[in-house]
């Protein structure tokens, strides 16, 4: 999966593709037959289109979203990270370290303010401190870390807002 800025041209999606994507974002566990029925195409057409969407990278992967509370990982930390040196190699080095840390759910390189926003999901404060030490204290290039702990998640929606189908 590559969440970096993609400079390639957007894939042309028609109304059927958009219906398929919408349904799969709601429930990726649908069988091909159930998906085909919901988007009003034949199962063969549906399967062909889903395969094409995977091949084109429109569908990066299909996953299960696990409840953090049910697996004892209920502490969410939103962390601003500023590096001392912002050269390409230093930015990439931090991104690699964040990608290697299992506690990191998301890592965004941002502009205007800190260099990164990192979302960590951990069981407790001890696990946060261990991850923070690994990511922030172990690197001599981290200048500043500012952490916010979530007290309530009001919304979590991993679905992408899809464009309206062209008429």
- In tens, the pLDDT along 56-102 reads 999 999 998 898 889 988 899 999 999 999 999 999 999 999 999 99
Structure confidence by residue, pLDDT tens digits, 8-22:
678 899 999 999 999
Angle (CA) 81-68-109 rounded to 5° is 25
The phi and psi torsions of 78 (rounded to 5 degrees) equal -105, 120
Q: What radius of gyration do the chain's Cα atoms show?
A: 20
The arithmetic mean of pLDDT across residues 107-114, rounded, is: 95
Nearest CA among 35, 78, 92 for reference residue 59: 35
CB-based contacts of 136, cutoff 8 Å, min separation 6: 79, 81, 142, 145
Name the E strands within 57-167: 75-83, 104-109, 116-122, 142-149
Q: How far is CA 152 from CA 13, 27, 57, 76, 103, in A?
A: 36, 25, 33, 9, 19
Alpha-carbon distance of 117 to 81, in angstroms, equals 6
What CA–CA distance (Å, rounded) separates 159 from 152?
20
What is the pLDDT at residue 7?
52
- 28-58 per-position pLDDT tens digit: 999 999 999 999 999 999 999 999 999 999 9
pLDDT value at position 164? 84
Q: Looking at the predicted structure, is the pLDDT value of residue 138 above 70?
A: yes
pLDDT-based confidence at residue 5 (cuts at 50, 70, 90)? very low
- Match 């506690």 to its residue by tokens: 103
**Is pLDDT at 167 greater than 80 in this prediction?**
no
**Six token digits for residue 57:** 């990278």
């Amino acid at each position: 999966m590559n969440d970096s800025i993609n400079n390639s041209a957007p894939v042309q999606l028609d109304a059927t593709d958009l219906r398929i994507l919408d349904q799969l974002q709601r429930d990726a566990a649908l069988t091909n037959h159930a998906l085909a029925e919901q988007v009003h195409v034949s199962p063969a057409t549906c399967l062909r289109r889903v395969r094409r969407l995977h091949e084109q990278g429109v569908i990066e992967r299909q996953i299960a979203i696990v409840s953090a509370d049910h697996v004892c990982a209920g502490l969410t930390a939103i962390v601003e990270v500023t590096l001392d040196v912002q050269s390409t190699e230093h930015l990439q080095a931090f991104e690699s370290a964040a990608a290697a840390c299992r506690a990191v759910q998301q890592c965004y390189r941002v502009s205007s303010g800190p260099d990164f926003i990192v979302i960590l999901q951990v069981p407790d404060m001890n696990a946060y401190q261990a991850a923070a030490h690994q990511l922030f204290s172990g690197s001599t290039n981290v200048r500043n870390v500012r952490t916010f702990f979530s007290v309530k998640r009001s919304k979590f929606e991993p679905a992408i807002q899809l464009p309206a189908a062209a008429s």
